[in-house]
Amino acid sequence: MNGRPDNAQPVAEPGTGPVAKGDPVPRVDARAKLTGAARYAAEHAAPDLVHGVVVNSAIARGRITALHLDDALAVPGVLEILSHRNRPRMRKLDLFYKDMTAPAGSPFKPFHSDRILYSGQPIALVLAETFEAARYAASLVRVDADAEPHETRLLSHLQRAHQPSRLKAGFSPPPKEKGNAQAAFDAAAVKVDSQYHAGVEHHNPMEMHATTVLRGEDGHLTIHDKTQGPQNCRWLVSHVFGLSRHQVTVKNAFVGGAFGSGLRPQYNLVLAVMAALRLKRSVRVVLTRQQMFTFGHRPETWQRVRLAADAHGHLRSVMHEAIAETSRLEDYAEVVVNWSGQLYACDNVKLDYRLVGLDHYSPIDMRAPGAAHGMHALEVAMDELAHALQMDPLALRLKNFAERDGATGLPYSTKALKACYEQGAARFGWAGRPLAPRSLRQGDELIGWGMATGQWDAMQMFARAHAELRADGSLIVSSAASDIGTGTYTVMAQIAAAAMGLPMERVLFRLGDSTLPVAPVEGGSSHVATVGSAVEGVCEKLQKTLLRFAHALPDSPFAKARFKDLRFRGGAMEWMDADTGAVRASTPLPALLAAAEVDRVEERYLMLPNLLRQKRYTRATHSAVFCEVRVDEALGVARVTRIVSAVAAGRIMNARLAASQVTGGVVWGISQALHEETHTDHRLGRFMNHNLSEYHVAANADIHDIDVIFVEEDDRIVSPRLGAKGVGEIGIVSVAAAVSNAIFHATGRRLRSTPMTPDKIMAPGPDWAAGDSAVGIPLVPR
């Protein structure tokens, strides 16, 4: 790596120099992205590239009776139209379609039969020499179908909710009841009983889902896919089409956002491979923005939270139940209610979580899945309880602070939540908050202050890493990780550079290739603790190899050096005096390779979590979110003008990128609170606002001051090598709750359904309208 490599190989800018863990190093992939050198899934070319455009179903349930293709096939440049009638050979068993993150049930199989299972289902793929021809021909495809009755309204079918299967990675069913929650609730002095509703949300990353399959002369398929796990996609393709793993390589060097939409391989991948095998040519399939609404989403969820306390604010009962949608095919499940049994100290807790199968595509993980809904309901209920008690909301949380996990009794590996409360409140000025709602006003706007607590799992999985130290002093580290915009390229190179004492620009981290050493799908805020620990581990193996080289030097000055007394800095290995800290010997790393007569040193490392030790603790990240809103009651407009988010996430590997992650999560939390919802026309069973003009997200004008604080924490249970936890999810958790609580403090009006749009803020009466329900309480949100 003499000089600067190709911009598509992200390395730090020349002159970056030595770095330490925690330094705010800029993104190493910034130049490639800003100059266009970074190529995304739909930007890889081939001389014989075929373009595919998907045709989607217009009904929600039924059977295809005829496909009228003559007009489409007559378009110049159209090569073929694939459907269930002429697809290439594919395996049929559910097992072959289960990717590494699939929930229990029967995965959706594109073009498997004439059955239509949801509105938007792909039913044909038009293949042409140009994208324009394929798109025009797709508009000419006509479909005859026998429609059958469909069900897409969650709130009308709560009575048939069922217990979910446990067979989904990351899902834990609610624990058994602790104590007697109903009796304690009935006997308590102060209680709240509230319902919550959250509509469907769609991910909508900037880069739409796309797959480019480049077919080699030998039939090898190099697949560029928008995914959060290239090995997961390779696994699926190999199994569905009966291909050897050596016949398929999946790459995702650059990903323009995903937020969970790329955890599972989407149907564009299967269709593109299907077409490449059929035509024996390279194929690209790109979904439109509208088609981004035809696969997974954050599920619509109904919740009921009942809290009870004594007159002094000690919790006596916590009851939290949730019912969410899933598809008819799979039991997509999330951890929604479990947080209510963990976060606060209470002797009587009852939790319940169930699913309703509807005629939708299976939901899929979206940033902080489960917690974004479950923590929202809990934290709004806690604010409501604080108001009933005439107690400061922060004081109520501190009074019921849980030193141990309330559900299991296990200690937390680390829990610096009290420091989050203290530092966040001080930065925000919470001590000046008046207790009564409607106490603050400026001009036509009411001002409110709200707060909420956040919690998310701190996970570590297993991963491998490969490192190659070259004679010129450059280092290449590799793992099949992904970077969906979170900064993986940068942080992994930074960890390696800090470990080996090399200038940052001399380190390249390679990722996004299924042929690289195994890494998990990037999700759940686990990449730093997992892949980062593997990088640290493989660098330690390199260090030990270099020490062996030093021991072998003639008249070696390192002859008596012990590994624990070594330090790597400035591109050299130093032997430090254990007593004085002085340097006893030093040699440049290239000199060690030269003396050993090798042009490179390679090491591999397998990072396995210490599960026996980790199971003795509850591992979580925590946050305290403080929010200021201004509400114009006449217009129903709420503006979030200030947010302070104090986060405890172990050791922070890169202060700049971690703060960026939390800031992005806060922006999305504001969007969840005030803007985002996908609306369904239940007569058609179809999502209606499937575009970015009608699916509202927070824009620049909606975002004001966001202040991120990282409290000091070092968790050697979650990641013994680094002390780090993840920060990707925790940024969004409970932001919407803090906004809701601030709106109540401003207006005295309690909003329990998201998004909290102007019509809800202005509407008289409660946030819920009367309606029939299986449990005898109102269910239908305005």
Catalytic residues: 729
CA 39 to chain centre: 22
Residue 643, phi then psi, degrees to nearest 5: -140, 135
Return the C-alpha torsion angle 115, 119, 124, 128, nearest 10: -170
Burial of 562 (0-12, 13-18, 19+ CB in 10 A): exposed
Residue entry with tokens 């009796």:
183
Residue 544, phi then psi, degrees to nearest 5: -70, -35
Query: Which residues are within 8 A (CB) of 163 and not within 5 positions of it... i.e. 6 or more apart?
Result: 173, 354, 355
Residue 328: closest CA among 482, 133, 103, 513: 103
CA 552 to chain centre: 48
Residue 78: closest CA among 122, 125, 31, 38: 125
Residue entry with tokens 């990722």:
511
Cis status, amide bond into 230, omega within 30 of 0: no
Query: Which residues are within 8 A (CB) of 182 and not within 5 positions of it... i.e. 6 or more apart?
Result: 317, 319, 350
b (16+ CB within 10 A) / e for 666-699: bbbbbbbbbbbbbebeeeebbbebbeeeebbbbe
CA distance 702 to 456: 26
Residue entry with tokens 């966040």:
424
Q: Which tokens sit at 79?
A: 């090569």
User: What are 144's strand-pairing partners?
Assistant: 66
Query: Which residues are within 8 A (CB) of 172 and not within 5 positions of it... i.e. 6 or more apart?
Result: 166, 335, 338
CA distance 200 to 202: 7
Query: Which residues are within 8 A (CB) of 70 and not within 5 positions of it... i.e. 6 or more apart?
Result: none
Residue 586, phi then psi, degrees to nearest 5: -150, 145
Residue entry with tokens 């007394």:
565
Residues 661, 664, 668, 673, CA torsion sign: positive
Helix (H, G, I), strand (E, B) or coil at 730: coil
Which amino acid is present at 738? A
Q: Which tokens sit at 678?
A: 């996908």
Which amino acid is present at 726? G
Q: Apex CA 353: angle with CA 347 and CA 355, to 5°?
A: 175
Query: Which residues are within 8 A (CB) of 133 and not within 5 positions of it... i.e. 6 or more apart?
Result: 51, 75, 76, 77, 78
- Strand pairing class (463-470; 600-607): antiparallel
Q: Apex CA 649: angle with CA 643 and CA 653, to 5°?
A: 105
Q: Which tokens sit at 609?
A: 């979590």
Distances (CA, A) of 557 to 448, 545, 550, 583, 586: 67, 16, 8, 11, 8
Max Cα-Cα span within the chain: 88
Query: Which residues are within 8 A (CB) of 764 and not within 5 positions of it... i.e. 6 or more apart?
Result: none
Return the C-alpha torsion angle 381, 173, 350, 407, nearest 10: -90
Residue 39: closest CA among 223, 222, 224: 224
CA distance 49 to 464: 35
